[in-house]
Chains A and B, each alone.
Chain A
C-alpha cells in the first residue's frame, strides 16, 4: 500500500462522484435523486479540502468547502419544497412520470 497522499483522496472523491451520478440518473424517487446529489456535492468537497491540504492554497480550499456546504443546505431546502409541491400536484414523486415537457 502506498503512502496515503493526494491521489488517494482524489480517488475516493471520484468514486463517490460516480456513485452520486449513478444515483441521480438511476433513481425513480425524487428524494433519492436529491440524496445522490448530496453525494456529488460531498465528493466535490473532499476534492477541495484535499487540495487545500496538499496544494498551496492555504485555507481557500476549506473556505470553498464551507461555502459548498452552505449552498447545499439552501439548495436542499428549496429542492424539498419543490418536491413537496410536486407531491401535491402528482400525488407521487416518481421523476420518470413527470415528463410533461416531452414532445
Chain B
C-alpha cells in the first residue's frame, strides 16, 4: 500500500460512520431496517481499518504519514505577520492501532445493540448517534493538529451527551447527560486555553510543527514555565474527558445510558481519548507537568477503587473500575511509561468493553435488574456470558496469561522505576494498593452475580442466555484479552511485538532543564527532531531502571492480585467472615465509600449552589433594578402622556369647543334678526340710512 492510499483510506474510514449517521437521521423513519445498513457501514470501516493497520505496521512501522491542507490563509495580519491555519491528518503506529481498536469495538457494539435495543421507540436514531460518535472519535484519532482535535473533542462530548441522555424521559438520564457535558466543558476550557497559548506563540496548530519548534529551543513565551502551563492546561481536557479526579463525577452517572453505549464510550473509546491526547503531546510535557499528571492519575485510581469496593449496581462497579483504570493510564504517562500507558489503553478497551457488554447481557436476561444483591447463580443459566466475563475479570485483575497482566505489570514497573529515579515513592505504593483492590472488587462482582444461589428466584427463572448477536462480541473481546495477541511470552511484554516493534516511546523535545534526566537520550536534540523517526527509545537511564523494576513489580503484583482474589472468595463465596458485623465496625468508612466520598454533595454545596446563588442575585438585579428602571421610565412616560392628554382635552379642545360655541352663540343671536317680517327689514333700512346720513354728513 502506498502512502497516499493509506491516508485516503483513513479519511474514508473517518467519513463512513458520518455517512451512516446522515442516512439514519434523514431516512431512518422511512426505512426501519436501515440500522442494518448503519451496522454494515461500520463493519466495512472495520475491514478497511484492519487493512490500514496491517499496512502501517508492516510497511511504514515507525514512520508518520501525514497530509495537510491550508484551511484559512489570513495573509499578512498587522503586528503578527503572515498567518494561515493548516489542517490535516497523520497516521503513525499509535494512530493505526487506535483506528483498529475504535472501529472494532464500534462494530461489535453495533452488532450487540441490534438485540439489546430491540423494541426501543428511537431504535434507528440510536444507531445514528452511534455513527456520529464513531465519526467524532475517529476524527480525534487521525488528526494532525490541535484545532481539529478540539473540534472533534467537542463532537465526541456532544455524542456522549446524546447517547447518555438517550432515554430522556427519565429525569435521571437527561440530568446525567447534562452533567457529563458540563463537567467535560470545565476540562475543555482548560484545554482550549492551553491550545491557544501554543497557538499564540507558534502561530500554528499542527503537532509536528510545534514539536519541531520546541526541539529547536523555541519555547512558548520563552519560558519553560509557560510550556508546563500549556501542558497542564491541555491535560485538563484529558482530566475532563477521561474522568480523572476531580472531574470524574460524570462517569458513574453516565451509566444511565444504554449498556452498549457504556461499553463503547465509557469504557473503551471516548474516555480513552484523554489518554490518547496525552500520548500525542507526550513529547512536550515538562517534568513538572508530568509530576502533576502522575499525581492526578494516582489519586484518581485510588479514590475510584475505594468507591468500587462497596457499590451494588453492576454498572456502577464497572464505571468506577473504569475511572480507576484510566487513572492507571494517566499515571503511566506521568511517570514516563509511555508505551505501557498506550498498551494498557488497548487491553483495557477490550476487556472493559467485554465486561460491560457482559453486564448488559446479564441485565437484559434479568429484565433490567442491575442490583447484584438480587442476582446469583447465573453461571448455570448463561454460560457464555459467564466465561467471557470471567476471562475479562482475570485480565483486569492482573492474572498471568491474560493481557491485563502484561500492561498493568508494565505500569507498576514504571511507577517503581519512577520512584527509584525521582524519590516519589507514594506513587508506586498507590499503584500496588489499587491493584489489590481491583482484584478484590472485580471478583466480588463475579461471585455475587454468577456464583452461589439465586437471590431473586422469579427473575432467575426467566433468565436465559442471550442471542448470538450479543454473545459473539463477548467472545471476540474476551479472546483479545488473552496474552497471545501481544507477545509470545505470557509473563513478559518486552519481548512481544507490541512493545518492541509497534510502540516505542518518542524522544521528548522539552529542553533538558525542564525535563527529567531519564527522559533524554544521549543524542543531540537538534539532530533527532521528531516526526519521521521515532524509533529512539528514551534514555538508557530509564530503560535500566525499568529493567530493574520489572521483576520486583511482577512478583509484588502477583502476590497482591492473589490476595485480593482470596479475600473476595473468603467474603463472598465461602462466607467465612460475617460481613454484617464487619460493615458495622467500619461503618463510617463503608458509608464514605458507598456515597462516593460525598464528592457530588461537595460540588453541589459549593460550585452549584454558588452558581445558582450568583444567578439568583443577578436575576434579582435584573428584575428589580434594570426592569425597575424600564418600568419606571414606562410609568414616567405614561404619566407625561396623561398630562399632555389632559392638556389636550381641556385646553386645546377647550379652545376649539369654545370657539365653536362662540360662533354658535353669535349665530343664534343674529338669527333673531331674521324675523321674516318685511317691516322689520324696513326698520333696519331706515336705521342704516340714518347711520349713513349721520356718518357722512352730506349736509
Contact = CB atoms under 8 A, between A and B. Distances in A.
A25 B679 CA distance: 5
Interface stretch (B21-29, B354-362, B670-678): B670-678
A25 B671 contact: no
A3 interface: no
A101 B676 contact: yes
Contact of B679 (A96, A100, A103): A96
B671 A103 contact: yes
Given A21-B686, A25-B686, A100 B676 contact: yes
B270 to A, nearest CB: 101
A96 B679 CA distance: 8
Interface in A42-62: none
B686 A103 contact: no
B693 to A, nearest CB: 12
Contacts of B679: 24-27, 33, 95-96
In this complex, the member of B671, B674, B678, B682 whose beta carbon has the largest number of chain A beta carbons within 10 angstroms is B678
Contacts, number: 30
B586 interface: no
Contact of B682 (A21, A98, A101): A21
A102 interface: yes
Interface string B149-186: 00000000000000000000000000000000000000
B677 A95 contact: yes
Contacts of A100: 676
Contacts of B77: none
B523 interface: no
A82 to B, nearest CB: 12
Contacts of B683: 25
A101 B671 CA distance: 12
Q: Is the interface of B mostly helix, strand, loop or mixed?
A: helix
Nearest to A21: B686
A24 to B, nearest CB: 6
A102 B682 contact: no
A32 to B, nearest CB: 11
Interface string B657-699: 0000000000000010011111100110010000000000000
Contacts of B676: 98-103
B280 to A, nearest CB: 108
A24 B681 CA distance: 11
Contact of B675 (A21, A25, A33, A102): A102
In this complex, the member of A25, A95, A96, A101 whose beta carbon has the largest number of chain B beta carbons within 10 angstroms is A25
Contacts of A95: 677-679
A9 B683 CA distance: 26
A34 B679 CA distance: 12
A99 B678 CA distance: 8
Interface string A5-27: 00000000000000001001111
A63 B674 CA distance: 39
Contacts of A102: 674-677
Nearest to B675: A102
Contacts of A26: 679
A101 B675 CA distance: 8
A33 B683 CA distance: 13
A103 B680 CA distance: 14
B682 A96 contact: no
A99 B677 contact: yes
Nearest to B671: A103
Contacts of B671: 103
B676 to A, nearest CB: 3
A33 B682 CA distance: 12
Interface in B25-52: none
A34 B104 CA distance: 136
Interface in A34-84: none
Contacts of A27: 679
A33 B675 CA distance: 18
Nearest to A33: B679
Contacts of A21: 682, 686
B698 to A, nearest CB: 15
Nearest to A26: B679
Interface in B331-381: none
Nearest to A22: B686
B187 to A, nearest CB: 98
In this complex, the member of B671, B677, B683, B686 whose beta carbon has the largest number of chain A beta carbons within 10 angstroms is B677
Contacts of B678: 95
Contacts of A99: 675-677
Nearest to B683: A25
Nearest to B689: A21
Contacts of A101: 676
A21 B675 CA distance: 19
A98 B679 CA distance: 11
Contacts of B675: 99, 102
Nearest to A28: B679
A100 B674 CA distance: 11
A27 B679 CA distance: 9
A35 to B, nearest CB: 14
B677 A24 contact: no
Nearest to B681: A25
A25 B682 contact: yes
Nearest to A27: B679
Contacts of B674: 102-103
B677 A96 contact: yes
In this complex, the member of B676, B683, B686 whose beta carbon has the largest number of chain A beta carbons within 10 angstroms is B676
A16 to B, nearest CB: 15
Nearest to A24: B682
Nearest to A30: B678
A33 B681 CA distance: 14
Interface in B49-83: none
A17 to B, nearest CB: 11
A24 B679 CA distance: 7
A98 B676 CA distance: 8
A7 B591 CA distance: 147
A103 B686 CA distance: 22
A102 B493 CA distance: 132
A21 B677 CA distance: 15
A45 B315 CA distance: 141
Nearest to A102: B676
A98 B680 CA distance: 12
A14 to B, nearest CB: 12
Closest 5 interchain pairs by CB? A102-B676, A99-B676, A103-B674, A101-B676, A25-B679
Interface of A: 21, 24-27, 33, 95-96, 98-103
30 contacts: A21-B682, A21-B686, A24-B679, A24-B682, A25-B679, A25-B682, A25-B683, A25-B686, A26-B679, A27-B679, A33-B679, A95-B677, A95-B678, A95-B679, A96-B677, A96-B679, A98-B676, A98-B677, A99-B675, A99-B676, A99-B677, A100-B676, A101-B676, A102-B674, A102-B675, A102-B676, A102-B677, A103-B671, A103-B674, A103-B676
Given A99-B676, A99-B677, 12 more contacts: A24-B679, A25-B683, A25-B686, A27-B679, A33-B679, A95-B677, A95-B678, A99-B675, A102-B674, A102-B677, A103-B671, A103-B676
